[in-house]
Amino acid sequence: GSVFSHVARAPEDPILGVTVAYNKDSSPVKLNLGVGAYRTEEGKPLVLNVVRKAEQQLVNNRSRVKEYLPIVGLAEFNKLSAKLIFGVDSPCIRDNRVTTVQCLSGTGSLRVGGEFLTRHYHQRIIYIPVPTWGNHPKVFTLAGLSVKSYRYYDPITRGLDFKGLLEDLDSAPSGAIVLLHACAHNPTGVDPSIQQWEQIRQMIRSKGLLPFFDSAYQGFASGNLDKDAQSVRMFVADGGECIVAQSFAKNMGLYGERVGALSIVCKTADVAGKVESQLKLVIRPMYSNPPIHGASIVAAILRDRTLYDEWTIELKAMADRIISMRHQLFNALRDRDTPGDWSHIIKQIGMFTFTGLNVRQVSFMTREYHIYMTADGRISMAGLSSSTVSHLADAIHAAVT
C-alpha cells in the first residue's frame, strides 16, 4: 500500500471549486459567476491592449535578461506601485518611510505581511470583517496570527453595519490589527462612505489599532484609481502607520502573472529600512524571490505617461461595463416583477453583487439553470453580459417565487 493511503480527500476550495463544477457541466447555457475574473461582453477573458504593448516592448528589448530578481523584487516596480496606491506626492514616499516589496499578487502580499507581523509585532490578533474574502482567515491563521472578526454587513439593510463595526473595533484590544478592504469590499460590494471612513480612522487611531489594507480592486470600483485609494490615503495623511497589500490581478488583468506588492508605512525612514531587512528574512525561505515578467509589465505601464493613460481608459471601460451589467440585471428583475427589493444590485460597488440569495436558492439555480456562484449568493458581475442577463434574471425570479 501507499505510504499516503491514509490521506483523506480534501474538499474543493469554496471559490475555485465553483469553476471545477462549472467545467464539468455540459449544458450550452451554463454560466460561471463564481470566480472574480473579468470577462468581455462575449464572455471571454481579456488581455488589456496596454499589457500587450508593454509585453511587446519587453520582447523587443534584446538586452533583457532572465536573471533572478532581488528578494524584494523589481525596485522600479516597488517605487511605482507605492506611488500608485499612496499618490505621487504622498508624505510617506517623500519622507522615505515606506518600504514596498514585490510579492506574489494580493494573496502573497497578505501572507508576507501576516508572517512579518507574527514575528515582529507585539499584538498578534487580527480583526477581519464578517463576511470577507474566504481566504483571509486561512492566510492569516497560517501566518501565525489569531483571527477575530468585526461586524461589517447587515443582511437586513443589505448595507454597512456601521454601528456594529465601530462597537467591535472599540472593544478590540489595544494594538490589534484590523484588516480593511480598501475599496469594493468582497463579497458584499458595500463600502463605507468617506465620512464613515473618517470615523473608522479616528477610532483606529484613538485605540492604537494597526490598519492592514487589502487593495485588490484599485480602479475597479469607481473606474478612478485615485478615488479608489482614498481610504488608504486618509490613513497615511494622519502620519500614522499602516500596511497595504496590493494586487495587479484585476486592475491590469494580470491574474496568472501573480504580481502584487506589500507596503509597510512606518514613522521614520530608519524604521522602514529595518522593517525591509526583516521582510527579506520572511521571503527568502518561502520562495526566495518573486517572478520577473509580470512586474516588468506593470513597471513599463506605470513609468510611461502614454501607456499609463491608455491603461486608465481600459480600466474605466471594465469598471463601466460592470456598472452597466448591474443596471441591466436590476432592470430585468423589475421587468419580471420579481418579488423583493433589488436596489442593492445597483448600489453595491465593484466586481460582485451580494444577492441575498440563500444556499437553497443558489443550488436551485445551479441545478435548474446551470448558473454557478459561491454558496453565499455572491455573483461576479464581470462574468455577466447583455446576452446572459435574461437567463440569470429568469433563474433568480424562479428561485425566489
Positions annotated as catalytic residues are: 133, 214, 250
Is the CB of residue 177 less than 8 Å from the CB of residue 118?
Answer: no
State the Cα–Cα distance between residues 218 and 248, nearest whole angstrom. Answer: 9
- Nearer CB in complex with ligand PLP: 221/395: 221
Point out which span in 47-55, 99-107, 288-296, 391-399 binds ligand PLP (CB under 6 A).
99-107
- Nearer CB in complex with ligand PLP: 106/223: 106
How far, CA to CA in Å, does 25 sit from each of 16, 140, 174, 367?
15, 34, 50, 10
CB of 96 to ligand PLP, least distance (A): 27
CB of 242 to ligand PLP, least distance (A): 16
State the Cα–Cα distance between residues 30 and 370, nearest whole angstrom. Answer: 5
CB of 109 to ligand PLP, least distance (A): 8
Q: Side-chain half-sphere of 310: how many Cα atoms within 13 Å? A: 16
Quick one: which of 216, 212, 280, 218 has its CA closest to 241?
212
- What secondary structure does DSSP assign to 316-378, as a single string? HHHHHHHHHHHHHHHHHHHHTT-SS--THHHHS-SSEEE----HHHHHHHHHHH-EE--TT-E
Residue with cell 473618517: 198
Point out which span in 105-113, 119-127, 227-235, 337-345 binds ligand PLP (CB under 6 A).
105-113
186 near ligand PLP, rule: CB under 6 A: yes
Angle between helices 269-287 and 105-120 (to 10 degrees): 110
Point out which span in 54-62, 87-95, 247-255, 340-348 binds ligand PLP (CB under 6 A).
247-255
Pairing outcome for strands 177-181 and 210-215? parallel
Site for ligand PLP in 325-364 (CB under 6 A): none
247 near ligand PLP, rule: CB under 6 A: yes
Which of 115, 161, 168, 214 touches ligand PLP by CB under 6 A?
214
107 near ligand PLP, rule: CB under 6 A: yes
**Cell numbers found for residue 116:** 512579518
- Nearer CB in complex with ligand PLP: 259/395: 259
State the Cα–Cα distance between residues 190 and 222, nearest whole angstrom. Answer: 13
- Nearer CB in complex with ligand PLP: 99/186: 186
Per DSSP (E only), the strands in 202-346 are 210-215, 242-247, 259-265
Number of continuous H segments (helices) and E segments (strands) in the chain: 15, 13
- Nearer CB in complex with ligand PLP: 262/325: 262
216 near ligand PLP, rule: CB under 6 A: yes
Site for ligand PLP in 22-51 (CB under 6 A): 36
Binding mask 250-289 for ligand PLP (x = CB under 6 A): -----x----x-----------------------------
Angle between helices 194-206 and 162-170 (to 10 degrees): 10
- Say how many residues make up the chain: 401
CB of 120 to ligand PLP, least distance (A): 22
Q: In 3-state terms, what secondary structure has residue 197?
A: helix
State the Cα–Cα distance between residues 71 and 277, nearest whole angstrom. Answer: 10
Cβ neighbour number for residue 30 with a 10 Å cutoff: 17
- Nearer CB in complex with ligand PLP: 36/87: 36
Which of 50, 249, 292, 381 touches ligand PLP by CB under 6 A?
249
133 near ligand PLP, rule: CB under 6 A: yes
218 near ligand PLP, rule: CB under 6 A: no
Is the CB of residue 399 less than 8 Å from the CB of residue 57?
Answer: no
CB of 171 to ligand PLP, least distance (A): 25
CB of 206 to ligand PLP, least distance (A): 26
106 near ligand PLP, rule: CB under 6 A: yes
Residue with cell 458595500: 190
- Nearer CB in complex with ligand PLP: 220/369: 220
CB of 186 to ligand PLP, least distance (A): 4
CB of 311 to ligand PLP, least distance (A): 17
Is the CB of residue 207 less than 8 Å from the CB of residue 245?
Answer: no
**How many chain residues bind ligand PLP (CB under 6 A)?**
13
What residues line the site for ligand PLP (CB under 6 A)?
36, 105-107, 133, 181, 186, 214, 216, 247, 249, 255, 260
